[in-house]
Amino acid sequence: MTFREVLEHGSNWALAAVLVGIPLYGWIKGVKVYEAFVEGAKEGFNVAVRIIPYLVAILAGVGAFRAAGAMDALARVVGPVTAPLGLPAVVLPMAIVRPLSGGGALGILGSIFATPGLGPDSYAGRLASVLQGSTETTFYVLSVYCGAAGIVRYRHALAAGLCADATGLVASVVIARLVWG
Amino acid sequence: MNVVFVLLFVAALVAAALHGNVKAVGTGALEGAGTAVTLAIGLIGVMALWLGLLKIAEKAGLVDKLARAARPIFRPLFRDVPDGHPAISAMLLNIAANMLGLGNAATPFGIKAMEELEKLNPRAGTATNAQALFVAINTASLQLVPTTVIALRASAHSSDPAGILLPTLFSTACALTVAIASAKLLERVVR
């Protein structure tokens, strides 16, 4: 078994163990598991509906931003500055898109892997991989979590999240240069 | 957030005008709005599943046990949250699911945590220190093993798909540290 297979098995087993373990534990403890499950599950629909306006607000903005090519324009302006620092122009759009759209960032990662001359084992491919793995879709997390709790004034949550993203970016470049530079 | 909202649209319009493709602003926004609803609808099933399981765990006393076990780690971070509060166990479950890469489970637990924290909120609609810190922690990717990236690298015929693991952990640790530190520092300044 390769390392990757071990990881996949571990993840699958963890999920299965929780899915089976909770009802079983509850049943042993004398909980009416079916009734409790249905009672809790009722909430699922309400929560999903409650976050829709928050998600529409951010994703409409991100959609316009991406479709208009604002990201590429930004990458062209900043690219010449960041390339000598170890952040190549091909990875830059990903750094910009990562906090906005998880799917978008994954798409860019895939295209870096598929580009002849780059690929997953190139410096750009490895840096983009580390970047994808070490940062989150900050705006999505914010709108879903705050939306569910009905929060509209985020206070410093956004600033702290963006600080974390910026740190993830800098740390990714630093470690990529150290290991593969 | 108000600034971000306006900035995204203004930047889109400027870029679109420069490219001579103003139509993209409208289609992009509409497409994004559609995606938002698809995402939310897609959440219903997973949300219901995990909230149902969580209710069982709650009635079985498992949630209380978790909250007690997590106390030493969470108390210094979330001083405003009373010991044994259900928010603690929801946060613990969210973080554990994130670390294991069970994103589907992490989101419902995170939402539950935010709702529980909201019950402690004296100013409804404005994030508390605990909520801001919790969200900030979640914006640093906590996943110990980035399985999606590794799978994508493997399918692109990388000679070393998992070789990014340790560098990713290093970078994650840096991001997480800054997330916590900046949330803790900023909470004193931002009202």
* pLDDT tens digits for range B4-25: 889 889 989 998 998 888 899 9
CA A11 to chain B, closest CA, distance in angstroms equals 7
Report the percentage of chain B scoring pLDDT > 70: 100
Q: How far is B72 from chain A (nearest CA, A)?
A: 24
Does B86 contact A at CB distance below 8 Å?
Answer: no
Collapsed DSSP state (helix, strand, coil) of residue B104: helix
* Residue contact A60–B149, C-beta within 8 A: no
- pLDDT tens digits, A88-129: 988 998 898 888 888 888 888 999 999 888 999 999 999 999
Looking up tokens 């963006």, which residue turns up?
Answer: A162
Would an 8 Å CB–CB cutoff place B99 in contact with chain A? no
Cβ within 8 Å, pair A157-B43: no
Which B residues in the span 143-172 are in contact with A, Cβ-Cβ below 8 Å? 143, 145-154, 156-164, 167-172
For residue B126, the SS3 value is strand
Distance CA A41, CA A56 (A): 24
Q: Report chain A (181 residues): mean pLDDT per 10 consecutive residues.
A: 69 82 94 94 87 89 88 85 90 89 86 90 95 90 92 93 94 94 79
Contact (CB<8Å) A135/B140: yes
From residue A11, how far is each of B99, B140, B179 by CA, in Å?
Answer: 10, 20, 26
Contact A26 B56 (CB under 8 A): yes
The whole-angstrom separation of Cα A181 and Cα A173 is 9
- Tell whether B10 lies on the interface with A, counting CB pairs under 8 A: no
| Cβ pair B36:A142 closer than 8 A | no
Tell me what pLDDT residue A7 has: 66
* Mean pLDDT, chain B, whole residue set: 89
In chain A, which residue's Cα lies nearest the Cα of B6? A61
Residues with Cβ within 8 Å of residue B34, at least 6 apart in sequence = none
Kind and range of the H or E run holding A58: helix A43-67
Look up tokens 């765990």; give the residue: B57
Q: Rounded to whole angstroms, how far apart are CA atoms A151 and A154?
A: 7
CB contact under 8 A, B59 and A60: no
The tens digit of pLDDT for each residue in B58-95 reads 899 888 888 888 888 888 899 999 988 889 989 998 99
What is the share, in percent, of chain A residues with pLDDT greater than 70? 96
Residue A64 to residue B9, Cβ atoms within 8 A: yes
Q: Look up tokens 């978790």; give the residue.
A: B66
Shortest CA gap A89–chain B (Å): 18
Structure tokens, A74: 């930004």
Mean pLDDT across B138-154: 86
Interface test with B, best of A59, A142, A179 (most B CBs within 10 A): A59
Rounded Cα gap, residues A68 and A20, in angstroms: 47
Query: Hey, which residues 21-40 in chain B have their CB within 8 Å of chain A?
Result: 21, 24-33, 35-37, 39-40
| β-pair partners for B140 | A135
Kindly list the distances between the CA atom of residue A83 and the CA atoms of B114, B121, B159, in Å, as whole numbers in the listed order: 40, 45, 25
Structure confidence at residue A62 (pLDDT): 87
B119 inside 8 A of chain A by CB: no
Residues A164, A166, A172: CA angle, nearest 5 degrees: 100
**Is-contact B80 B120, C-beta < 8 A?**
yes
pLDDT single digits (tens) B27-47 = 999 998 998 898 888 888 888
Q: What is the DSSP letter of A135?
A: B
> Which pLDDT belongs to residue B147?
81
> Nearest 5 degrees, angle CA A151-CA B82-CA B127?
15
Q: Which sequence spans correspond to the domains of chain B?
A: 49-189
- What is the model's pTM? 0.88
Is the Cβ of B115 closer than 8 Å to some Cβ of chain A? yes
Alpha carbon B69 to its chain's center = 22
